Chain A
């Protein structure tokens, strides 16, 4: 389309301007007209498409909302049937749909703490064991392979606040026989972090080692316990087990981290040849009492310091009663790589009516550091019982005297659950030949 606006010869507008106007104006006009036409067509067709699409989507949304509402109502009905009216249906959220049913049940059981689901598997069993090969330079002894202990640690969360636990230990009996022993049998009630009550047979809260390491050798860095803390059936001189009641918990103390343990029990028997742990009958009217206080300060992670006092009255036959007092104090630092244990105690036996008191002091110190899977360690231990001590030899047939010496060894953790240990012990005895012993132990958890 061309417009002859002005004749070239007669126009007062200069030629270049005329040329520009003649060329540009129709072009721009054409562009504008075409663009407007195209856009109009697009809007028309796009608008129709959009409207139809939007309507369809809205209808679909309505259908989905209706289906979701129906599903929610159905789930609410099913939960009410399965679990009872534990939650207000108005607060139900679809968030819990899709969680494993066991997880939901456990979560919802919190709302009714004393309910027990009989179909749930409450029993948990962990096992610990050890084998060893050992020898020493004592005449009459032979190097031997030994089956160690098999400790089945069994727990059961009976309800929200009650728990049952037991250490069922298979260990060396008389000669080469195995025997089973319920080393711990406890029903625990946990009211709060400040009060827990346990009833049954427990490890006496004397000091640190007896509570920290229990029966499993896998947990211990060394091949065995310090001889101060050997169990009664291993020739130990402490009342490591007791039957009674134990209360424990935190003491509100902020960053000091104070804890307490208070126990009352039968104490140990004092008749020769009789099982020291009085599981069923107390041989005298006196009950043993012990208190243990310790601190785990926030400022030094891994540090634990404490002391304990144990008090009982022993009644050996045909002898005066003996007041038994055991005082213990300790300071330990246990971290991922470093372990440093220090503990000292004195066992005080005071026969009634006699002026003399028999004191048996003892201590151990143990230090180890982990280098990768290897943990070398060193222990030094000492105990010194007087020669005429009235209880150890006459009642329990344990010859103590003076014994002290170092132990050095290395532990290698072959996996998360298997450890190899190699340990050398040197023990000096009063008026006896020193003992050198070497032991190789395989300890494991299962």
Chain B
């Protein structure tokens, strides 16, 4: 009996010491519900010296289609794209270009041949390289997962919305515009 009592008491003591300290329970109530996980949002980025802060979706499309050659500050537009196989590139082809990979290649090859498009987009191998290129080139525009954006580049609003707004449309795996 004594042994049993001792064991029960010991168990109670152990449970008391193992209880988490008061106030450490994670409070989830009251936090706003987030529509998108940050790493799935595609942010449009430009060089920090670019005065453009907002683009309509149609303007964004024209820029990436090669129909815009100059920014308002006179710098030449340099469109950057990731290599095929990157999910970010798939989102751009699906939602911005509205083209397949083959149609995209044909569009720029024919555009440079007819003279409609002065320069094709620059293809870069990774998000890190793309971010560094946009940092260096005053006229560059590109895209990154929101989680890959840092202070070296500027995020542009699309139709007035930032990537963490509910109305923002560019998302990896989403329905798109």
Contact = CB atoms under 8 A, between A and B. Distances in A.
B57 to A, nearest CB: 11
Interface stretch (A100-108, A270-278, A434-442): A100-108
B157 interface: no
Contact of A103 (B10, B67, B124): B124
Nearest to A216: B113
A107 B129 CA distance: 12
B58 A298 contact: yes
B152 A111 contact: no
B151 to A, nearest CB: 9
B35 interface: no
B141 to A, nearest CB: 12
Contact of A445 (B58, B67, B70, B109): B109
Contacts of B119: 157
B6 A126 contact: no
A96 B132 contact: yes
Contacts of B2: 23
B87 to A, nearest CB: 22
A107 B137 contact: yes
A28 interface: yes
Interface string B1-19: 0100110011001000100
A188 B140 contact: no
A188 B70 CA distance: 15
B70 A336 contact: no
Interface in B51-87: 58, 67-70, 75-76, 78
B136 A99 contact: yes
B36 interface: no
Q: How large is the interface on A (under 10, 10 to 19, 20 to 34, 35 or more residues)?
A: 35 or more
B138 A192 contact: no
A27 B6 contact: yes
A56 interface: no
B118 A190 contact: yes
B113 A126 contact: yes
A23 B9 CA distance: 10
A65 interface: no
A96 to B, nearest CB: 5
A155 B124 contact: no
A111 B138 contact: yes
Contacts of B76: 110, 113, 160
B75 A110 contact: yes
A93 B150 CA distance: 12
Contacts of B124: 103
Interface stretch (B22-30, B38-46, B96-104, B160-168): B96-104
Nearest to A24: B9
Interface string A12-41: 000000001001100110010001000000
A193 B67 contact: yes
B113 A192 contact: no
A403 interface: no
A192 B100 CA distance: 29
Contacts of A190: 69, 118
A41 to B, nearest CB: 17
A165 interface: yes
A24 B67 CA distance: 86
A445 B110 CA distance: 11
A211 interface: yes
24 contacts: A24-B5, A24-B9, A27-B9, A35-B17, A93-B135, A93-B152, A95-B135, A96-B135, A96-B136, A98-B132, A100-B129, A103-B122, A103-B124, A106-B122, A110-B75, A110-B76, A126-B113, A165-B115, A190-B69, A214-B113, A214-B114, A216-B113, A255-B58, A336-B99
Interface of A: 20, 23-24, 27-28, 31, 35, 93, 95-96, 98-100, 103-104, 106-108, 110-111, 113, 126, 153, 155, 157, 160, 163, 165, 188, 190, 192-193, 198, 211-212, 214, 216, 219, 255, 298, 301, 336, 416, 445
Given A93-B135, A157-B119, 11 more contacts: A28-B9, A96-B136, A103-B133, A103-B136, A107-B78, A107-B136, A107-B140, A198-B115, A211-B114, A214-B113, A255-B58
